Amino acid sequence: MSSGSTPPSNVQQTAPPPTPPPENIAPVDTPQGSVGPTGAASEVTAFDITVRAPPAVREMLEKHLELQRYRAVTDLEEAELERLMLLAERNVRNLVGTLGFFSPDIRITREGGVNERPVIVVTVEPGPATTVGPVAMTFAGDIAGSKDSDAMAQRSDIERDWLLSTGLPFTQDAWSSAKTQALRQLVARRYPAGRLAGSLADVDAPSHTASLRVDLDSGPLYRLGPMQVSGVERYDPVLVPRLARLNQGEVYDQRRLVEAQQRLASSGYFDSAYVFINPEDNPLAVPVQVQVREAKLQKVILGVGVTTDSGPRASVEHTHLRVPGIGWRATTKLQLEKKSPFAQTEWTSIPDDANWRWGVLGRVERINDDELITQAQRLRFGRSQIGDRIDRNIYLQYDRASVKGEGLLGNPASATGDGSALTANYVWTGRYFDSLPFPSRGYALGVELGAGTTLGQDRQPFTRTVGRWLGIKPLERGRIAMRAEAGAVLAKDTVNIPATQLFRTGGDNTVRGYGYRDIGIELANGVIGPGRYLAVGSVEWQRPITLRGRSSEFEHTVFVDAGAVADKPQDLRPSFGIGTGVRWRSPIGPLQIDLAYGLKVKQARLHISVGFVF
């Protein structure tokens, strides 16, 4: 874009040209120790500069004015300084034009006598701002003539999301940003070889409007071809394509390549992964290049943490990524804490072509809720499928629970959760959030279905069902997070179902204001035991905390929680907790610190937890 008091009717947008230095004067960068445009004078500068203009214009000139470069030339003669002042007007006009002011009133004067330090005063009255007039956007290449609904939708999205619509202020930065955004949308899917074929900003200075034209050339449609993998030495060659899940023949989509890269990097098998294509390759079957760097076969992770439910904890976890003989991954973890220490080992195969993998899990844990001590063992065998949004699990599971405590006298085993069982289970989880682990909108659903039989002398059938939901709705300021969970175990009253298949609630991630598993069935001697029906709900208002007018990494929340456990649906009586807290977007996930008051127990509790859980 050229500029002047009356620019021509058709002007191609370009960056303003630099003002050439006067003869025999070499531009010198301001040396360290000299002052900037608004600072006080120092002995190493030849003159001072004062800019008198509206704030946005003044900031631009103070940063980019060519005169700044000559302040370090200390042997300037008067004639040379006068020539610099004359050339500076063109430079100022160009700079002001980038802000959309094409009819500025510019005055550059000198203050100070012959024997005084010169002060160059740049005074600018920018005049009316230029606004965007008509906008014309044209397309060439496959996207222009394609009748494919996806291509038509992509074209419509580019036009709809254009950043410089009629009536908005016109500036150089806004014009560049709008073109960049349009090109980014073009190459994001279907057309990685797309380009900006041409652009024109036609500025009419008398009317203070700019007519815009943008020409986008999509080039040909690209489809993915064979995958070319480098960096795999230890693992099965099929591992990368099965984790990446990019199919030959599918239309190019940059988002899909990024997701494949993230799956590879987060799988644990690779320290790094890079997935890309070369637009110069055959668009009908462009090869997908995958470069990975393998992780070590074995690793040990030591961890420490603390929660208000269980207190301090320490853990050690060992992972072997390719167990000799079977090629499965084995992860074994030992966690020590006061309330619920456990030892667990889980072995999983590599995924098959449909992304299903076999798995075996064994777990031993001790749960201490200050009244009852539950020794539990679990064995599981089945298949799982972990997708981008949907997870599925199908498995057989053996549970055994041995419950002890001084308050058990007078309570039957069927009420305390002492027993064992074998069940067949199906678990489905769908997550539809805009981002993780810090979602701002969306929802998630989870369903667990189980059926089985108790073991021992009196074998009895039972079923178990659990449903969970989490919804996040954005507001003008902040968001509302709503949570609900319900569960039911159906069986005869006398059946000894293990405690791990029954329900208790209360604590950091359920009903705040109550201790860990404090909400359950009140048994004889005042002991709290597990129940067969569960209902939990929560509403939380999350608002960003602003610092100096900007949203920070912290949020303030107020919430209401409720939960109930009973052996019959009609006996469900909610226990409420209310409170407030803060959230921090920490590098390892959301850190939650909540102060809650349990209305039933008339007691306040502090709750601290880390991570997004669903």
Output the pLDDT for position 158. 95
Output the pLDDT for position 613. 67
Strand, helix or coil for residue 415 = helix
Residue 409: pLDDT above 70?
Answer: no
CATH topology agreement for domains 131-217 and 224-294: yes
| pLDDT per position as a tens digit, 217-270 | 999 999 999 999 999 999 999 999 999 999 999 999 999 999 999 999 989 999
Calculate helix-pair angle for 55-64, 78-98, nearest 10 degrees.
Answer: 130
**8 A C-beta contact, residue 37 and residue 64:** no
Output the pLDDT for position 330. 97
**8 A C-beta contact, residue 392 and residue 549:** no
Torsion on CA atoms 178, 181, 186, 187, rounded to nearest 10: 140
Output the pLDDT for position 430. 96
| pLDDT per position as a tens digit, 150-169 | 999 999 999 999 999 999 99
Instruction: Please give the CATH topology (third level) of the domain spanning 1-129.
Output: Ubiquitin-like (UB roll) (3.10.20)
Q: For 131-217, CATH number?
A: 3.10.20.310
| pLDDT per position as a tens digit, 171-197 | 888 999 999 999 999 999 999 999 999
3-state secondary structure 243-286: HHCCCCCCECEHHHHHHHHHHHHHCCCEEEEEEECCCCCCHHHE
Tokens standing for 269?
A: 């098998």
What's the CATH class of domain 298-610?
mainly beta
Give the position of tokens 């693992």: 235
Residue 43: pLDDT above 70?
Answer: no
Q: Domain ranges in the chain?
A: 1-129, 131-217, 224-294, 298-610
Q: Which of 11-15, 129-133, 318-322 has the highest mean pLDDT?
A: 318-322
Count CA atoms within 13 Å of residue 410 on its CB side.
Answer: 8
Distance CA 372, CA 402 (A): 10
**8 A C-beta contact, residue 123 and residue 109:** yes
Residue 60: pLDDT above 90?
Answer: no
| pLDDT per position as a tens digit, 473-521 | 999 889 999 999 999 999 998 888 998 899 999 998 899 999 888 999 9
> Candidates 3.10.20.310, 3.20.20.10, 3.90.650.10, 3.40.50.620; correct CATH number of 224-294?
3.10.20.310
Partnered with residue 376 across adjacent β-strands are 365, 401
Distance CA 312, CA 308 (A): 8
